[in-house]
Structure 1
Amino acid sequence: MTTGSRASLERRSPTFAIPALLAFAGLCVLLTSLRLTELLPLNLWWSALIAPDTTHVGQLLFHHSALPRVAVSIVAGAALGLAGAIFQQTLRNPLAEPATVGTAAGANLALGTAAILAPFLLETGRELVAIGGGALATAAVILIAWRRHLSPVLLVLAGLVVSLVCGSASALLVVLDRDYMTELFIWQTGSLIQNGTAVATNLSVKLLIGFALATSLIRPMRILELDDESTRSLGFSPAVLRLAGLAVAVWLSAAVVAAVGVIGFVGLAAPHIAGALGARTFTRRMVAASAGGALLLWFTDQLVQVLPLSEEVPTGTATALIGAPLLLLLLPRMRAIMPTQGGTDIASPRHVIGWWMPFAATATIAVTIALSLFFARGIDGWHWASAAELATFLPLRLPRALVALSGGAILAVSGTLIQRMTGNPMASPEVLGISSGAAIGIILLFLIGIQLDRTNMILAAAAGALLTLGAIVLMAARASFSPDHILLAGISLSAIGTGLAALVLASGDPRIDFLLAWLSGSNYRATLSDAATAGCILLVTLAGSPLMARWLEILPLGQATSISLGIPLKTVRLSILLAAGLCAAAATVFVGPLSFVGLIAPRAADYLGYHRPLPQLFVSAFLGGVTMAVADWLSRTIIFPWQVPVGLLVALVGGPFFLWQIAKRR
């Protein structure tokens, strides 16, 4: 990315940047003051800070809990903002941050694994464990994208999949050892509750060191704004410069995870907020992102403490509810830097479709269903079901298998439609927030108190998905549907959905058990009626897809080509988005807001050589359906007699395979 293209992201005039930051800081101070004066009168603050009265509960809480919490929120937010700015500058990618390149999820998984296998490490080497996990995850992402010269699209795609796999593995640890891991899981979602000053002091030292290291890298980071050939001509190695920047960013990110858990969205939002407020150079972005991250996390942490909920929402989760709308508000001020077309990053040969392929697909589906129904794990180990067992378990297994098959295929179709319409291989119902929008509709239905039957859930999910799609279209239309704008809008809306779900789960409502299972990607309660409905939706979708074949063939060629060939863009895009949104909503109702199938199945079909619209759509539907059906079978057998939510298992099984497919392509 050139200096000019980087500068085009930002506002020409930074005149209101300082007043805006000062106003936000004032709001944070006001909220903090209101909170602390309830705990301790203002005239006792100084004495409580310097030498608290050990007989006064208010002074002890002020000294050991309230003030350290404020300090940790400021320091952790600044560290994440700085790390995000370094990631984006180093990788020349506006979507790079601790979450999207796998650092946070890798550190989180490492800590969870250590808690089960080697808990003593958490006492003496928590930070080293987190740094190791974060570094390994980030290295995996970098290695996968290295062959394509760290392509922005491929880098974030690999980062999303690695983060998804690590996050699913962390959630699986909680399922396997719920009593022991639940407390750690809550902490890992970003809880800033403190019981002393040690964390704040330790993290402050690390922030100062990180800032000093980042300052020493300012000139090399600015050189990376040039292309690789220009960088080499100046006598620098792009790989070495990137590794130096990544080392600092990974260290800062892992230090925050080790100290307070995973804090979502700050590393992505803070640098973009800094850029939109007028920070043009890397030095200014670095400082402004640190300040913006600190203020964002400080404000969010104070806000969650005044919410009228029976249990406090982890600050790391709630940050999305503040940062995402702010990023959406600033999104129109940013200009596109990623290519607006070119549906795939990885070339693959065209595949010739043989007459035998439909029969092979049908046979594969039949074998998958038979395996799911007849081969299982019981008290005596793996075995084929007897007639008596089949009579007992068939009414339970058959609906689940059929719903999983249809739901996975519908999600794959939705992902294919979106990717071909946008020409963006990272677009999918999950990444763009469509699945989260559908989930929000059902969550609101839950809060209102309306019965969660299938009809109401489908209507609510469709409304939520279509509203989310509409919001994305309105925001992306201003930037000619550029991939980076669509992705930022989708990630923001998805983060809002995740935050709202966390608020509901923290409300203490006794009815949340069903909602929690559904949000994890569960089809435990599938019935034959659900299977019939999902199957009908899939058949209607596949039967109607040829009507869109010409559109799907032309749209990836770009806006100018589409118009010259007589495509009415607004009508076509709206039609495809409606179809994709309704598909995603229907699948979400039956199998939950799964992350993975809608993103990966279309890419897998493309990598196998199916580039034409209809072959890609049908093959991705086949791959998505079979993947979901196999995952459903494994979810109820792999740790018998317990069950794993199928959504987690899809990510754990499909993610590594997809990454392997990416890595072996040149």
Structure 2
Amino acid sequence: MVDSPPEQSAEPVPAPRKRNAARAAGLLVSIGVLLLVALASIAIGAKQIPMDQVWHGLFHNTGTATDVVVEKVRIPRTLLGLLVGTALGLAGAVMQALTRNPLAEPGILGVNAGAAAAVVSAISFLGVSSLTAYVWFAFAGAAAVSVLVYLLGGSRSATPVRLALAGTAATAALYGYINAVQLTDSAALDKLRFWTVGSLASANIATVGQVLPFLALGIVLALAIGRPLNAMAMGDDTARALGAHLTRTRILAMVAVTLLCGAATAACGPIVFIGLMIPHLVRAITGPDMRWTLPYAAVLSPVLLLGADVVGRVIARPSELQVGIVTALIGGPVFIHLVRRRRMAQL
């Protein structure tokens, strides 16, 4: 009698494949949430507009007053919030990986301070008053400070600690300069009063068009360096053994952060906590793998920014509370709660 072959059981799905499937599903859910928040940003504002009129302004614009509000104010504001939120989230995630510091955020390398210092200088000494000009001055200041910090940090021999120390020193010096200029020039102080707290209120299509090329390039660069950043997280020696090019990765990371933070800060001022808090929330979902952390951060950061902007428009009707203030009020307590949890502290 011939023995029948043993019945083969179904091959179990490898754990990494299951994790990746769960991460992909979570990313799709996050994109759905982002779409809902973006629609809320268009539908809800300081001026109450019925949903049928919002829909009319989106798809059947005939030039009525409400159509103009939807087309000229809320859509550009939402688009800028999407871009800036994505930029700040990616910049924060890249900076935390680059410096191996979970508390790093877009201000640690002096990029925001460089942008702000350039704008203050342009207003005070050159009489610049338009947001169009702010973009270019802020971007130039962010780029110059990024190069300076990289050189002070040791250029080719730069380490995360040196970069962090150089950025902290540059930030302190630049904010001292900013405060000095504002105290001696009341015109600059008045013009920067709302810009320095971070706001989307002045958004328009022209601003979106000006910052879009810089942000698009920064987003592509940030997403492209996820794999080498994973290798660098295990230490420089291990990263080299795995074939990672440390100097090239650090340069690309600095360029990405400069593009993202410089353009975002120029468009709406320095907005805090998004680049610090969102990467922590994301790592609780994805783990430390930057190939997933970066896309999640790119999606969830504008959810927080647009959500905070909607809250600021609603709670202070008919006026509004700047989004930078709302993110600080929301982000501070939430972040303290997160870092006190053992699971988050270990990420």
Give TM-score, length-normalised by structure 1: 0.43
In the alignment, residue 67 of structure 2 is paired with which amino acid?
A
Give, in angstroms, the shift of residue 357 of structure 1: 3.8
Q: How far apart, CA to CA, are the structure 1 residues paired with 2:45 and 2:186?
A: 35
Q: 1:614 to 1:625 in 2, by over 3 A?
A: same
Equivalence for 1:120: none
Distance of aligned partners of 1:393 and 1:444 in 2 relative to their CA distance in 1, 3 Å threshold: same
Residue 427 of structure 1 aligns to a residue whose secondary structure is coil
For 2:263, which of 580, 586, 592 is the aligned residue?
Answer: 586
Map of 2:168 onto structure 1: 491
Contact in 1 for aligned 2:211/2:267 (Cα 8 Å): yes
| Residue 332 (structure 2) pairs with residue 655 (structure 1) | yes
Is contact 2:118-2:138 (8 Å) kept?
Answer: yes
Aligned-partner Cα distance in 2 for 1:578–1:399 = 26
**Could you give the per-residue CA deviations for residues 18-41 of structure 1, whole angstroms, max 9, x where no partner exists?**
xxxxxxxxxxxxxxxxxxxxxxxx
Give CA deviations for 1:111-142 in whole Å, capped at 9, x if unaligned: xxxxxxxxxxxxxxxxxxxxxxxxxxxxxxxx
Task: Report the AA paired with residue 559 of structure 1.
Answer: D
What code does the residue aligned with 1:643 have? E
* Residue identity opposite 2:254 in structure 1: L
Q: Which residue of 2 aligns with 1:481?
A: 159
Cα offset, 1:419, TM superposition? 1.6
- The Cα of 1:623 is off from its aligned counterpart by 1.8
Count residues with an aligned counterpart: 313
Stretches of structure 1 that go unaligned for 5 or more consecutive residues are 1-349
The separation in 1 between residues aligned to 2:327 and 2:65, in whole angstroms, is: 27
Which amino acid in structure 1 is aligned with residue 43 of structure 2?
Answer: F
Task: Name 2:136's counterpart in structure 1.
Answer: 459
Counterpart-to-counterpart distance in 2, 1:440 and 1:417: 23
Distance in 2 (CA, whole Å) between partners of 1:454 and 1:606 is: 35
Distance in 1 (alpha carbons) for counterparts of 2:226 and 2:190? 42
CA distance in 1, matches of 2:88, 2:137: 17
Q: Residue 659 of structure 1 aligns to which amino acid in structure 2?
A: I
Q: Deviations over 1:563-598 (max 9, x none)?
A: 333333223212221121121101111121222112
| Aligned with residue 447 of structure 1, among 98, 114, 124 | 124
For the aligned residue pairs, the C-alpha RMSD in angstroms reads 2.7
Q: How big is the shift at 1:427?
A: 2.2
Larger radius of gyration: 1
Tell me if structure 1 keeps the 8 A contact 2:84–2:264: yes
Asked if the contact 1:373/1:398 (under 8 Å) is kept, the reply is: yes
1:537: Cα distance to partner?
Answer: 4.3
Residues in 1 aligned to 2:75 and 2:169: alpha-carbon distance in whole angstroms:
37
Aligned 8 A contact 2:215 2:263 in 1: no
Distance 1:366 1:359, change over 3 A: same
After superposition, residues 53-68 of structure 1 pair within 5 angstroms as: none
Distance 1:390 1:365 in 2: 24
Q: Which amino acid aligns with 2:78?
A: A
Residue 652 of structure 1, CA deviation: 0.8
Aligned mates of 1:542, 1:352 — CA distance in 2: 24
**2:70 aligned with 1:391:** no
Greater relative CO, 1 or 2 (CA 8 Å, sep 6+): 2
Q: Quote the sequence identity (%).
A: 25
Alignment check: 8 A CA contact 2:195 2:268 kept: yes
Asked whether the equivalents of residues 401 and 633 of structure 1 are also in contact (C-alpha less than 8 Å), the reply is: no
- Answer yes or no: is the 8 Å Cα contact 2:313–2:320 preserved in 1: yes
**For residues 524 and 406 of structure 1, what CA distance do their matches in structure 2 show?**
15
Distance in structure 2 (CA, Å) of the matches to 1:389 and 1:415 = 39
Residue matched to 1:370: 39
Q: Which residue of 1 aligns with 2:230?
A: 553
CA deviation digits over 1:351-408, x for unaligned, max 9? 7545444442332122112212223456xxx784562774253122222222122111
Q: Given that residues 46 and 314 in structure 2 are in contact (C-alpha distance below 8 angstroms), is that contact kept between their aligned partners in structure 1?
A: yes
Q: Structure 2 CA distance, aligned partners of 1:567 and 1:505?
A: 45
Aligned 1:12-161 pairs, distance under 5 A: none
Residue by residue over 1:449-489, the C-alpha shift from the partner in whole angstroms, topping out at 9 and shown as x without a partner, is 15354554333223222332233333333985243x44443
1:218 is matched with none
Q: TM-score, normalised by structure 2?
A: 0.80
Residues 560 and 452 of structure 1, relative CA distance in 2, 3 Å threshold: farther
Could you say what secondary structure the match of 1:637 adopts?
helix
Q: Where in structure 2 are there 5+ consecutive unaligned residues?
A: 1-18, 54-63
CA–CA distance in 2 between the matches of 1:590 and 1:497? 19
Paired residues for 1:227-626 under 5 Å = 353-376=22-45, 384-385=50-51, 387=53, 390-394=66-70, 395-449=72-126, 451-453=128-130, 456-477=133-154, 481-483=159-161, 485-510=162-187, 512-626=189-303
Contact 2:223 2:295 in 1 (8 A): no
**Gap change, CA 1:502 and 1:389, over 3 Å in 2:** same
